[in-house]
Amino acid sequence: MPKVGMEPVRRKALVDAALKAIGHHGSLSVTMSEIAREAGVSPALAHHYFGSKDQLLIETIRSLLRQLRADAVMALAQAETPRARISAVIRISFQADQFAPDVVAAWLAFYSQAQRSEAVRRLLALYARRLHSNLMSGLKPLCGLEDAGRIADGAAAMIDGLYIRQSLKAAPLSIDASVALVEDYVAGQLASHPPREGEARTKGPGWGDFPARQRPYMPTPRHAKAAHPRRTKPKGG
């Protein structure tokens, strides 16, 4: 029988183990026994606390969302301007514990599972609504409701896309580089909206502020190469 007072500790250990195991496998094909082994408990104890693997997976997603929400609330409370609120939301989306390889792989596995599980789909829809709402809290004062919604949708799509790219591991981006890309997008979209009276607008660190040697390789399109042919030294010169 589980020791009194150990349930919160064991439940957290199982959630952490599930996240690590899913990230390692890159799918939800892990078994309850594998998760229990990772957590250092027996499969029977894992079933005692969560009943089934599906219930443990749901709690794992909820744990990620709770952490994201807590971090966002704290960061937004410290932001003093609408533009700072946008930057805070972007930075929180790429914080180290969320953008770690295992966690990124787990997020993608959850999105795949959402095609088959209504419970998972609802939780991921909740995440999308929160991200959109947090971005809108900074964008609406700067550009109005309609444009704010469009920019928020674009920024959210970029964030999700960068997570997908990170999972490929072919050309991984650092946290700072990912933040800079989304910041540049937002800054470019806001450029057509002049600051309102009394508004001191600043921008977060954009791609141009990022050290060139730390940027990922971006292939040059063929037409761009053709537009700038290499100059050769004349024969006999």
What CATH code is carried by the domain that includes residue 201?
Answer: 1.10.357.10
Helix (H, G, I), strand (E, B) or coil at 230: coil
Beta strand spans in 138-230 (E):
none
CA dist 3 and 143 (Å) reads 56
Condensed to tens digits (0 to 9), the pLDDT of residues 30-66 reads 999 999 999 999 999 999 999 999 999 999 999 999 9
Helix (H, G, I), strand (E, B) or coil at 73: helix
Helix (H, G, I), strand (E, B) or coil at 195: coil
Structure tokens, 113: 């599972």
Position 217 in a domain: no
Structure tokens, 137: 């809290």
Position 45 in a domain: no
Position 123 in a domain: yes
Give the count of alpha carbons within 13 A of 77, CB side only: 6
By the 8 A CB rule, do 55 and 96 touch? no
Total tally of structural domains belonging to the chain:
1
| pLDDT, tens digit only, all 237 positions of the chain | 556 567 889 899 999 999 999 988 888 889 999 999 999 999 999 999 999 999 999 999 999 999 999 999 999 999 999 999 999 999 999 998 889 888 998 999 999 999 999 999 999 999 999 999 999 999 999 998 999 999 999 999 999 999 988 888 767 789 999 999 999 999 999 998 766 554 544 555 554 444 444 444 444 334 344 444 444 444 444
Position 10 in a domain: no
pLDDT given for residue 204 in this prediction: 53
CA dist 147 and 150 (Å) reads 5
- Between helix 101-113 and helix 7-25 the angle, nearest 10°, is 90
What is the span of the domain harbouring residue 139?
A: 64-210
pTM score over 0.85 = no
Position 232 in a domain: no
Contacts of 43 (CB under 8 A, 6+ apart): 32, 33, 36
Position 227 in a domain: no
Burial of 146 (0-12, 13-18, 19+ CB in 10 A): exposed
φ/ψ of 154, rounded to 5, equals -65, -45
Name the residue among 203, 206, 204, 164 with its Cα closest to residue 181: 206
Position 47 in a domain: no
Helix (H, G, I), strand (E, B) or coil at 104: helix
Position 137 in a domain: yes
pLDDT given for residue 221 in this prediction: 39
